Amino acid sequence: MSASKREEVVSHLRYIRLELREMHQMLIKDDLLPDLNQAKEVHAQLDALHELLLNKGNKKINGELGGM
């Protein structure tokens, strides 16, 4: 994985971790469910990270198949 892709993945994971930590604190402190939009935002970040990782995997597979 290139350094820029790695940094992008790390950035996504840090953001998601922060958002999930905030949601967890809300659940513990106030015994409330997180805001639906906040949950959707974290889900969108997970989807973006998933796409980023899938694209990396597809490039590797396509490169391996091209060498046959």
Return the ∠ at Cα 4 (arms to 3 and 8), rounded to 5°. 115
Task: Please tell me the predicted confidence (pLDDT) of residue 67.
Answer: 46
Task: Please tell me the predicted confidence (pLDDT) of residue 5.
Answer: 81
Asked if residue 54 lies in contact with residue 46, where contact means CB atoms within 8 angstroms, the answer is: no
Phi and psi based region of residue 19 (left: phi greater than 0; alpha: psi -120 to 50; beta: remaining): alpha
Average pLDDT, 10 consecutive residues per value, the chain (68 residues): 81 87 84 80 86 70 46
Task: List CB contacts of 38: < 8 A, sequence separation 6 or more.
Answer: 19, 22, 23
3-state class (DSSP) for residue 37: helix
Task: Please tell me the predicted confidence (pLDDT) of residue 30.
Answer: 81
